[in-house]
Chain A
């Protein structure tokens, strides 16, 4: 087992753990942040699979932009004085 395979497994398992966390957490903002983490880990796994184009696109669009519009949605719909 090479070092790269170990990294692959660690990344994959971490993604699954964060996925379960994102679904079961109470606060919506945490759920969104865990999704962002999964997306970042996906970027790593794309790099491991020699897909730089996909990695860049996922990093910019999937991880950055999607998280941004999620957070904006949550901010614009919060009630006055409420914390997210």
Chain B
């Protein structure tokens, strides 16, 4: 019975969405259909030409210099430069939910949930892979302005490396206090950089460093710095979440 009602409700919602989006009654839908989008009508066209604050016609990879935003990856430039405030909020979401998970699952004495006897190869092999994964994570968030990736997946990869050590080694308990400190410091620096920008340029979270030549590693001003901070913060937050989920209270 309940399923029938749910199906009917869902069909009604679906009918509403499809009829309003794709079959408007007076033929006046302003909804652009899939793939038929004209970017010139959107704010994004200015993000691509990087001419929000000044005149600029064309951005050429490896040649254009000192633009308002020096990132070759447009998604990164939107996330960390044009809409950096959203990203601050997003980091806060992860921060607060990691904190909440810690509060909910906290207990006095803790032990690892999946205790087993690891063999030598597993234990030391995992350490080897751990190093490689951390290097890859750091590469990812330090090249966020040039290649796909960036702070969020980079941080998550580092957290995944820690997860590997957890599973391979019974005695391994990451120092959670250190992660909390990293998380707090990275977040504080992000906000302080934003506040510093008010002093220097008059706008919160402004990119006040010179942006260099598009496509080189030392370009894009603050973007790589902020992405590294985000990577560290996300990495330590997800590590905190994983730690909370992997431990159980010892009953006594």
Contacts and interface: CB of A to CB of B under 8 A. Distances in A.
A and B touch in the complex (CB under 8 A): yes
Contact of A57 (B152, B238, B241): B152
A79 B73 CA distance: 49
Contact of B245 (A55, A56, A72): A72
A72 B150 contact: no
Nearest to A55: B148
Q: Which 9 A-B pairs have the closest CB atoms?
A: A52-B148, A60-B153, A72-B245, A53-B75, A60-B156, A53-B148, A76-B113, A57-B153, A56-B153
B207 interface: no
Contacts of A55: 148
Contacts of A52: 148
Interface residues of A, number: 18
29 contacts: A51-B75, A52-B148, A53-B73, A53-B149, A53-B150, A54-B75, A56-B149, A57-B150, A57-B153, A57-B156, A59-B153, A60-B153, A60-B156, A61-B153, A61-B156, A65-B159, A65-B238, A65-B242, A68-B163, A68-B242, A69-B241, A69-B242, A72-B113, A72-B242, A72-B245, A72-B246, A75-B113, A75-B114, A76-B113
Contacts of B156: 57, 60-61, 64-65
Interface SS majority for chain A: helix
Contacts of A51: 75
A12 B21 CA distance: 19
Contacts of A73: 245
A83 to B, nearest CB: 15
Interface residues on B, range: 20 to 34
Contacts of A69: 241-242, 245
A61 B157 CA distance: 9
Contacts of B238: 65
Interface string B155-188: 0110110010000000000000000000000000
